[in-house]
């Protein structure tokens, strides 16, 4: 754990290499496991203001062993930031894979996928920069192709996958205009070519079939609803491709052993770090909630269990106090009046808006020490997290939490001529059971999968790797004492040092002790 850019993903890669090296098996499986990371980074990481290779999802890697030999691996992913596909803030980029494709595909391949100059695409932000950068991306594209081959993806699957990604980019350039005669909305003449390039021509009738809202029945409102519909298709398509990659990896890395054989397991959790940007949205709340839970797990393990053991052994011990973040978790997760429950409740009302949601928060959490109502013109609210105060812009919260796709569009994808697209939307391919908690919003579903993960962690024997960011400028070899001290404080590491120094950090068994 650690904040964004502190080195969690790099540490995870080193740890994996180290474990594979200790196995000394040098098997194909070990090499495949090491190839999984470049693949996931290409599709799940992006440049942010805080980090040039920021994980925009959480991952849990389970390695399964029999007699010190790795026999299989399983990957779970959490909370992919799909909104990045359609919108990036200043100084940020879309997922790496789009840039790698532009740099790495040959002219002939670009023609095949209908890809033009990257500067033409609305979903691609950031200049392409120097020749060096383009060369680096070209090499990265080659790495991704090698990883896809190594892990075991078929050639046709790889072609289909890139066709879908190219289609997503083209879809982003489709715009809408009023239909003069009928007063309805149509795809603008200027963007008909993009619609064709998106390889799903039938989409036009679905994109434009958005009933106008009775509260604001203007044509401009319908144009904006159509644009929302277009963006939600792009996000869902990308999210499905990512989920499919993870499922495919799991199929290929599953252990091939007798079910009777008992396997030991090492799990590595590499989750997105705490974030506080100039503008914080729904995604930052999801990320910071996950970090809040991890911090609580750390506190429980290091302070509560540890000191309880000393008391049980009747050791002379002066209790070390720590910053307990339970009140913040209650504010976010309590039922029926926690922030999450209120968000799901509001998401279920068609008439509810981001404003009614914020009004509800303001009235429910009046006087709560960890909540502050927004000030100024922008609709917002502030939460005082364990790692500091974060102001969240509330615009888009309900829409992102609903995270729905019209059934008509789902049917269109199922009947797609691109075999992979059809597979992605039949549901059988996605190795997750969404039906059991369909009445929850996006954040609720994510929370459910995180809770399952936390239960697994509470029953294991954890080791904590705390990553500390040396400076906020992404500079190598520079240590900013204030930045470091602030992290040591809010992470509870100063108290941890006390408990390690005054307590009993090494505990041999009686057998070990006697033998020594």
Q: Please report, in range form, the residues annotated as the binding site for ATP.
A: 2-9
Exactly one of 1, 5, 76, 446 is catalytic; name it.
Answer: 5
Annotation says 4 is catalytic: yes
Exactly one of 12, 45, 54, 401 is catalytic; name it.
Answer: 54
Exactly one of 12, 45, 55, 173 is catalytic; name it.
Answer: 55
Within 10 angstroms of residue 338's Cβ, the number of other Cβ atoms is 17
Exactly one of 1, 12, 45, 51 is catalytic; name it.
Answer: 51
What whole-number distance in Å separates Cα of residue 20 and Cα of residue 180?
A: 65
What whole-number distance in Å separates Cα of residue 274 and Cα of residue 466?
A: 13
What whole-number distance in Å separates Cα of residue 496 and Cα of residue 466?
A: 11
What whole-number distance in Å separates Cα of residue 435 and Cα of residue 307?
A: 42
280 phi/psi in degrees, rounded to 5: -110, 130
What whole-number distance in Å separates Cα of residue 277 and Cα of residue 84?
A: 15
What whole-number distance in Å separates Cα of residue 485 and Cα of residue 70?
A: 39
CA 242 to chain CA mean position, Å: 11
Exactly one of 30, 81, 275, 306 is catalytic; name it.
Answer: 275
Annotation says 347 is catalytic: no
Sign of CA dihedral 437, 443, 449, 450: negative
Annotation says 275 is catalytic: yes
Burial of 35 (0-12, 13-18, 19+ CB in 10 A): buried
The position carrying tokens 């809408």 is 176
Binding positions:
2-9
Annotation says 5 is catalytic: yes
Classify 187 as helix, strand or coil: strand
The answer to whether residues 358 and 374 touch, using CB atoms and an 8 Å cutoff, is: yes
The answer to whether residues 386 and 325 touch, using CB atoms and an 8 Å cutoff, is: yes
E-state strands within 90-200: 176-178, 185-187
State the Cα angle at 484 between 499 and 12, rounded to 5°: 80
Annotation says 364 is catalytic: no
State the Cα angle at 273 between 272 and 277, rounded to 5°: 110
What whole-number distance in Å separates Cα of residue 480 and Cα of residue 315?
A: 39
Closest by CA position to 78, among listed 242, 205, 230: 242
Exactly one of 104, 167, 239, 273 is catalytic; name it.
Answer: 273
Q: Which residues are catalytic?
A: 4-5, 9, 51, 54-55, 273, 275
């Amino acid at each position: 754990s650690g904040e964004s850019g502190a080195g969690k993903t790099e540490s995870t890669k080193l740890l994996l290499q180290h474990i594979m090296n200790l196995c000394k098996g040098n098997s194909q499986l070990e090499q495949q496991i090491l190839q999984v990371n470049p693949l996931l980074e290409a599709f799940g990481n992006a440049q942010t203001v805080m980090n040039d290779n920021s994980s925009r999802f959480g991952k849990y890697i389970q390695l399964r062993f029999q007699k010190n030999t790795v026999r299989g691996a399983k990957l779970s992913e959490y909370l992919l930031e799909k909104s990045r596909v359609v919108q990036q803030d200043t100084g940020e980029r879309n997922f790496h894979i789009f840039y790698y494709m532009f740099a790495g595909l040959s002219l002939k391949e670009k023609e095949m996928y209908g890809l033009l100059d990257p500067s033409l695409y609305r979903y691609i932000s950031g200049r392409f920069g120097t020749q060096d950068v383009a060369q680096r991306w070209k090499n990265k594209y080659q790495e991704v192709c090698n990883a896809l081959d190594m892990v075991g993806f078929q050639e046709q699957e790889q072609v289909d996958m890139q066709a879908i990604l190219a289609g997503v980019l083209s879809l982003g350039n489709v715009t809408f205009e009023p239909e003069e005669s009928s007063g309805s909305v149509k795809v603008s003449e200027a963007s008909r070519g993009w619609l064709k390039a998106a390889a799903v021509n039938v989409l036009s009738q679905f994109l434009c079939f958005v009933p106008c809202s009775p509260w604001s029945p203007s044509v401009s409102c319908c144009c904006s609803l159509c644009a929302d519909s277009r963006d939600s298709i792009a996000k869902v398509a990308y999210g499905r491709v990512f989920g499919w990659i993870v499922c495919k990896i799991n199929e290929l890395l599953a252990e091939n052993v007798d079910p009777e054989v008992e396997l030991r397991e090492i799990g590595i959790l590499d989750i997105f770090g705490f974030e506080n940007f100039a503008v914080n949205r729904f995604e930052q709340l999801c990320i910071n909630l996950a970090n809040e839970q991890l911090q609580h797990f750390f506190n429980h393990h290091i302070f509560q269990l540890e000191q309880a053991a000393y008391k049980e052994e009747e050791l002379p011990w002066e209790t070390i106090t720590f910053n307990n973040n339970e009140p913040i978790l209650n504010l976010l997760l309590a039922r029926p009046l926690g922030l999450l429950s209120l968000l799901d409740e509001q998401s279920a009302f068609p008439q509810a808006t981001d404003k009614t949601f914020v009004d509800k928060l303001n009235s429910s959490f009046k006087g709560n020490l960890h909540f502050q109502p927004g000030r100024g013109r922008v609709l917002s609210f502030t939460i005082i997290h364990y790692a500091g105060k974060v102001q969240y812009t509330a615009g888009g919260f309900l829409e992102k939490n609903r995270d729905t796709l019209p059934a008509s569009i789902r049917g269109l994808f199922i009947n797609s001529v691109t075999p992979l697209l059809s597979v992605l939307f039949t549901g059988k391919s996605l190795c997750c059971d969404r039906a059991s908690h369909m009445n929850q919003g996006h954040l609720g579903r994510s929370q459910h999968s995180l809770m399952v993960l936390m239960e697994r962690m509470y029953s294991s024997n954890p080791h904590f790797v705390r990553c500390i960011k040396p400076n906020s400028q992404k500079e190598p070899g520079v240590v900013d004492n204030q930045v470091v001290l602030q992290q040591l404080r809010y992470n509870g590491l100063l108290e941890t040092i006390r408990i390690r120094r005054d307590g009993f950090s090494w505990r041999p068994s009686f057998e070990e002790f006697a033998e020594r």
